[in-house]
Amino acid sequence: MPDDLLQYLIGPSPYSLRWLWLAVVLTLALIAWYIGVFAFTAPSRKLAEVPLVGAMRNELLKRRAVSAVRGIVRRYRAGDLDAPAAGAALSRELREFLHRLTGIRVRHMQLSDVAASDLSAAAPVLIDLNDVQFNARSTVDVGAVSESTEELIRTWT
């Protein structure tokens, strides 16, 4: 083989650094995804006490609950739900929100127990919702009590 052809021989080309950075970014994104799923779905109170994660989780829970309340009211105003069904749905949503945010099993509590607990601020709204749900001659307006429910959820600390 003549020496003048050796100048055209080269070794394998190295990998581009773009592939390394892409792998690093995708790995970090996967780790962040798992942390996010754990942080936003874990029912643990300990996780809610972590400053940044707890605040983000609480805001997300508030947004979801307010959105659900607005959806119930929209269905009520459209005629898809009658007053007792709307009251039941609003009560269920409020109790579920309080359970997720505080860890207290509000779904299974009587109103007197709610009034005597740390959740006493929610008792008047729950009383109105129960009146709408179970009293056929109730004078409580579903629109007004839904606004109270939404306000309670937005201002809950």
Instruction: Quote the pLDDT of residue 43.
Output: 60
How confident is the model at residue 2, as a pLDDT?
A: 61
108-135 b/e (C-beta count within 10 Å ≥ 16 → b): ebeeeebbeeebeebbebbebbbebbee
pTM above 0.85? no
Q: 28 — phi, psi (to 5°)?
A: -65, -40
Q: What's the pLDDT score for residue 57?
A: 83
Which residues in the chain show pLDDT less than 50? none
Do 154 and 58 contact (CB within 8 A), yes or no? no
Question: d(Cα 105, Cα 103) in Å, to the nearest integer?
Answer: 6
**CB-CB contact of 56 with 36 (8 Å):** no
The predicted pLDDT at position 133 comes to 93
- pLDDT, position 114: 93
**Could you tell me which residues come within 8 angstroms of residue 92 by beta carbon, excluding any fewer than 6 positions away?**
107
